[in-house]
């Protein structure tokens, strides 16, 4: 159905004297792949390792992003700036929407 094939043909859960293939991966029939059990010994469930053949992926362009530097100095600087703001518009208001917008503007 929908051109999908069940790929797991080995037990994925082994407990005492029983073994079952309760975990499964479904893949498009047109794909070339290999799948193997990955026995990790952490539980009674084993992992599956799927390797797809002839996969093409687009190459991402490097982009820059801004990362905030949060440390004790920047935290103190923020606290200092907050202490010098005028908060009367926020604490003296009665309309929640107006108070919230004033807070965002501050």
The model's pLDDT over 56-86, given as tens digits with 9 standing for 90+, comes to: 888 888 888 888 899 999 999 989 988 888 8
**What does the domain layout of the chain look like in residue ranges?**
4-52, 72-105
pTM (predicted TM-score): 0.41
Give dist(CA 51, CA 34) in Å, integer.
5
pLDDT in tens, 31-43: 888 888 887 777 7
Whole-number percent of the chain with pLDDT over 70: 99
Identify the pLDDT of residue 72.
94
Contacts of 38 (CB under 8 A, 6+ apart): 46, 47, 48, 49
Whole-number percent of the chain with pLDDT over 90: 8
């Amino acid at each position: 159905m929908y051109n999908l094939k069940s790929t797991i043909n080995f037990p994925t859960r082994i407990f005492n004297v029983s073994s079952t293939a309760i975990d499964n991966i479904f893949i498009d029939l047109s794909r070339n792949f290999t799948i193997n059990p990955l026995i990790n010994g952490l539980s009674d469930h084993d992992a599956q390792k799927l390797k797809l053949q002839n996969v093409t992926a687009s190459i991402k362009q490097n982009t820059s992003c801004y990362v905030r530097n949060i440390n004790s100095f920047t935290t103190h600087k923020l606290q200092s700036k907050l202490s010098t703001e005028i908060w009367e518009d926020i604490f003296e208001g009665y309309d929640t929407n107006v108070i919230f917008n004033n807070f965002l503007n501050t």
